[in-house]
Structure 1
Amino acid sequence: MERLPLNALLVFVTAARAQNMTRAAERLHLTVSALSHQVRLLEQRTGCTLFLRGPRGLKLTAEGACLLEKVAPHLDAIELALRPLTLRRHTALSLSALPSMASSWLVPRLPRFVALRPDLELNLDSSIERVDFADGRFDAALRYGLGEWEGLHSELLFEEWLTPVASPALFTDRARPRLDQLGQWPLLCEDDPWPRWFEQFGGEAPARFGVTFSDSETLQRATLEGMGISLGRATMARPLIESGRLMGLFPERMKARYAHYLVYPDRSREHAGFKAFREWLLAEAESFRATEQDAVSVESNTGAKKAPRARLARALTRITPGDP
């Protein structure tokens, strides 16, 4: 009797839920090629096309949707039945972090933790999807929000600040704008509170924004390409400003509505690996907060340049907190 394609079914369900081959491959620790191969095997076995592949990801066919409906509950039941029988290894730690936070802040610091705890197996998932700790896949997450996640512990890492940033290429043929001239330039928007910026720092808001983006990573990429000026998150923009790829246009900064938090379920408090990571992470966040107090705007087109202390003091007096 031919063996049931259980592995291919698991791959199929994961891809169907992720609606994206790359994300599904990351979750299963497979290459995209290996994942696609498993899907093809299942399609050959069933004689049906299960996915329609497009530029925006995967879309289930009618046959694929029917298979997902019938198979997924049984795979979930198997996982649920096995979970109490599986001892959680305290030498393995699974984390989730937003891609922007992971690439700009966590990953550059992570080698220090790995050197501190080489015995710990660390698994990092970069995703914008909300973590469901009930499925047991993750021990903790780094999230950007108000700090209110029902049923979970959340600890503040640091506040986020917004300031206008742009590529030096934007000013090849034009002088940099004054603070009250920002509305005359192409302003890029995600969900950035430009109206609140103009209310606090003056100037006239434009009738419309140049381009609006759905996520901060794409917004930052557009800023790097010289499409316009954006309200950059200090956490993401700072490494790019220090490397000269972006410019901080003014010393004024505005406190964002959201902040960065470490979020975790109650069960993680007994996880030895998580305890070590939490202690290290909070120390790194405290150090980062201290350096942020000394951060200055970059005024050179070619790289970072520190301002005198007197000017720094004046700049800090102009930092205006936003809404809680």
Structure 2
Amino acid sequence: MDLHYSLEQLLAFQYVAEHLSFKKAANQLFLTPTALSHRIKKLEQQLNVQLFERHTRAISLTPEGNYLLKHVQSGFEQIQTALNQLQHHKQRLFTITTTSSFASEWIIPYLPELQSRFPNMMFRVHTSYDPVNMASGLYDLAIRYGLGGYQDVNVELLAEDEYVAVGHPSLNSETIDWSSIPLIHFTWGDEYCPNRISWQKWFDRQNLHIHASQQQVFYTQENHAIQAVLSGQGVALLSRITITKDLQQQRIKIVSPYIEKALGYYFLTLPTADPVVNEIKQWCRDKFLQSYVVNIQI
């Protein structure tokens, strides 16, 4: 007998044998008594063994039926145990989407701790400046940089950002010649940030001018601009949230008291988010607030 073609019949047999009633077994299996009876007859034909004694108003197991029931029950119990264990140990994929700089500074360094806290979770970090569609089901938690007017999601402010002028620690901020200091630009497109902060705006608001002969370099990746500052190539306008750790470790320093207010970082979650999403969101908030120092002195 090929077991592959008999699992339905074996399950039907177990239910009938345990209840000694075709009607009760049929109800639990969502079958008609006739369909259930056909399955039992097919099993008996495959085995060439009679499993039930059929009486006028009752049925009973034959010795062969009793023997088979013990093994069928044991077999299905083992299968159910295996399924339960697989379900219990199954790892859930949890995707956090955020900007590249936020992921580098505030998510990735703490991932081992997050994985230790949620051992049955696989984490995926997705980076993008694009608007995120939470309804797509691709993301569990989004952290986006913007104005906060997001639709059809729960929105929570994490922190408001500001841009500061920074340079190498060896740079004397009191003697900077703003007409000749090399300018390091970080550009990432007006399509993402309509009020994008730039050196031109920074100079204009202080009645300063960028000179035609002034050395300038443009980067599309924020970490590249940071590396240029670290290597002493000039001054850059950078997000305080992004460079908090570099400031704390005195790898770079603020070289002007003039600050440009920027946008904010926001948590985005679906209204139907489960407790795990909210717990991880709170963990992200706690980790950020533990390390982020707003008032760093020049």
TM more than 0.5: yes
Task: Quote the residue 1:264 is aligned against.
Answer: 269
Alpha-carbon distance in 1 for matches of 2:231, 2:175: 22
Runs of 4+ that moved beyond 6 A: none
Equivalent residues in 2 for 1:182-193, closer than 5 Å: 182-191=178-187, 192-193=197-198
**Alpha-carbon deviations, 1:32-73, whole Å to 9, x = none?**
xxxxxxxxxxxxxxxxxxxxxxxxxxxxxxxxxxxxxxxxxx
The structural deviation recorded for 1:185 is 0.8
Distance 1:184 1:242, change over 3 A: same
Matched, 1:238 2:207: no
The structural deviation recorded for 1:145 is 1.1
Contact 2:159-2:266 within 8 A present in 1 as well:
yes
Alpha-carbon distance in 2 for matches of 1:118, 1:251: 45
The structural deviation recorded for 1:277 is 0.9
Matched, 1:198 2:203: yes
Contact 2:180-2:215 within 8 A present in 1 as well:
no
Matched, 1:102 2:103: yes
Task: Quote the residue 2:255 is aligned against.
Answer: 249
Equivalent residues in 2 for 1:171-186, closer than 5 Å: 176-178=172-174, 181-186=177-182
What are structure 2's unaligned runs of at least 5 residues? 1-89, 188-196
The structural deviation recorded for 1:182 is 2.4
Alpha-carbon distance in 1 for matches of 2:285, 2:251: 29
Contact 1:213-1:219 within 8 A present in 2 as well:
yes
Task: Quote the residue 1:279 is aligned against.
Answer: 282
Larger Rg: 2
**Alpha-carbon deviations, 1:87-129, whole Å to 9, x = none?**
xx99442111211101112223444433433343322223344
TM-score, normalised to structure 1, is 0.52
Alpha-carbon distance in 1 for matches of 2:199, 2:175: 13
The structural deviation recorded for 1:226 is 3.0
Residue 238 of structure 2 aligns with an amino acid whose one-letter code is G
Residue 202 of structure 2 aligns with an amino acid whose one-letter code is W
Normalized per residue, the structure richer in strand is 2
**Alpha-carbon deviations, 1:148-180, whole Å to 9, x = none?**
223222211001121111234xx5xxx634377
What CA RMSD, in Å, does the superposition of the two structures yield over aligned residues? Answer: 3.0
Alpha-carbon distance in 1 for matches of 2:91, 2:137: 14
The alignment partner of 1:147 has SS state of coil
Alpha-carbon distance in 2 for matches of 1:190, 1:95: 24
Equivalent residues in 2 for 1:1-324, closer than 5 Å: 91-168=92-169, 176-178=172-174, 181-191=177-187, 192-201=197-206, 203-207=208-212, 210-256=216-262, 258-267=263-272, 269=273, 271-288=274-291, 291-293=293-295, 295-297=296-298
The structural deviation recorded for 1:241 is 2.9
Alpha-carbon distance in 2 for matches of 1:146, 1:275: 22
The alignment partner of 2:97 has SS state of strand
Alpha-carbon distance in 2 for matches of 1:113, 1:211: 37
- Counting aligned pairs with the same residue, the percent is 22
Distance 1:177 1:206, change over 3 A: farther
Residue 247 of structure 2 aligns with an amino acid whose one-letter code is I
Contact 2:141-2:281 within 8 A present in 1 as well:
no
Contact 1:161-1:255 within 8 A present in 2 as well:
yes
**Alpha-carbon deviations, 1:227-285, whole Å to 9, x = none?**
321012112222223334323224543321x1111112333x2x232021122223334
Contact 1:105-1:235 within 8 A present in 2 as well:
no
The alignment partner of 2:94 has SS state of strand
Residue 109 of structure 2 aligns with an amino acid whose one-letter code is P
Task: Quote the residue 2:192 is aligned against.
Answer: none
Alpha-carbon distance in 1 for matches of 2:291, 2:244: 12
Alpha-carbon distance in 1 for matches of 2:268, 2:291: 18
